[in-house]
Amino acid sequence: MRVHVHVRGLASNALTLGALVLSSWVGINGAVFDQNTLGDVCLSNNLAREFWCHYLPQYSVLWRPFFVVEPLTWKNVLFIIYAVMVFTYLAYPLVRELLQQLADRAGALLASTTRPSLRDVL
């Protein structure tokens, strides 16, 4: 699994973290929210507004929970907690490595941009 490989670059780690975040959101969204609030929009009037669900973000399955509030059941809350725990388990080593790489890059950048003092020159 790519998340537990320790030798890779900063961009690779950032892309892997982005893919993990998006995958986690898609999993939570699909299991908890599904397409519950989209049936009235996408299927109404003999599919007259189906294109809304394909091309407008507010009717997209992945963005719908930000526009329409749905009540959560206790099963949904338990699933969200479980998914966040799995995400944290997988993301922690990656985030730790990413932060270390950023700190190393920032340190190298600061070291290369510091000007020598007059005492060092003379």
Measure the CA–CA gap between 75 and 78, rounded to whole angstroms.
5
pLDDT tens for 74-111 read 999 999 999 999 999 999 999 999 999 999 888 887 77
Q: 63: domain range?
A: 2-102
**Is residue 112 domain-resident?**
no
Residues in the chain: 122
**Is residue 118 domain-resident?**
no
Which position has the token pair 């892997």? Answer: 16
| Structural domains counted in the chain | 1
The residue type at 84: V
**Is residue 122 domain-resident?**
no
**Is residue 25 domain-resident?**
yes
pTM for this one?
0.74
pLDDT tens for 3-54 read 565 567 889 999 999 999 999 999 999 899 887 777 777 887 888 888 888 8
Which residue would you say has higher pLDDT here, 8 or 114?
A: 8
Start-to-end CA distance of the chain, whole Å, equals 54
**Is residue 53 domain-resident?**
yes
Query: 121 falls in which pLDDT band (50, 70, 90)?
Result: low
